Amino acid sequence: LIWATTSRGGFAENCEKVVDNETCILGEGTCHLDWPGELVIPEKRQMMCPSVALTADRFVMKSDSTISTKSTIKIHARTMTFNKCVLTSGSTFLREKDHSACEGIQVMNTELIVQHKLVMKCQDGTVNVTGKSALQAGSNMSLRAKFVSFPDFYVKLFGGRINISAEQLHLGASMGGTPDLVAMAQYEATLGWLGGTWTLGS
């Protein structure tokens, strides 16, 4: 583990590697970190944590990596990318950093499984869920963004209550009669229109 100074004047420990004074490859066993640049969880990293709190400008979780905690996962960043990963927790909160603008949350071929509450909030940007992704929340699931997109393939949402709020909602065209989005709520599911346009594929 090393101590690194970034080009933005911030500092952090517990980086396994730092690239160009900007990108921190998260050190093994590090569950709490505030990094001013890009924070990356590398491929095939298995994280077992009492709780998780990660803050960065950009957050990337690479393929075949997992985060598991019985408590809370909090990830705050301007952009977030999850590619072929698994996150399991009591509750998970993915949202903008320090109430600043959020550009996007990308979830690809990823499972987000929480016992209680799942919140994905990107007020000024896009929540994009694609591939064979599954979002599962024991109680409440809330997706709130300017643009929410389920563009293709087969996405599954399961929750006690599901709330999706967006100015623009896009569901991609179905292939061979297979639904792109399957949403199952134990109690209620709400689609909240924030005044934009919704596009439903064929």
Q: Please give the pLDDT value at position 5.
A: 47
Q: Please give the pLDDT value at position 159.
A: 87
Percent of the chain whose pLDDT exceeds 70: 81
Task: Inform me whether the pLDDT recorded for 92 exceeds 90.
Answer: yes
Q: Residue 166 and residue 144: Cα distance in Å, rounded?
A: 6
Q: Please give the pLDDT value at position 179.
A: 57
Q: Rounded to 5 degrees, what angle do the CA atoms 43, 50, 141 make? A: 75
Beta bridge partners of 190: 163
Q: Residue 200 and residue 174: Cα distance in Å, rounded?
A: 10
Q: Residue 37 and residue 83: Cα distance in Å, rounded?
A: 19
Residue 166 amino acid letter? A
Query: What residues contact 176, with CB distance under 8 A and at least 6 apart?
Result: none
- Summarize pLDDT for 140-187 with one digit per residue, the tens: 999 999 888 887 657 788 888 888 888 888 776 555 555 556 777 777
Place of tokens 């709130």: 144
Assigned token pair, 167: 């100015």
- Summarize pLDDT for 22-61 with one digit per residue, the tens: 899 998 888 999 888 899 999 999 999 999 999 999 999 9
Instruction: Give the number of residues written for the chain.
Output: 202
Assigned token pair, 108: 């690809």
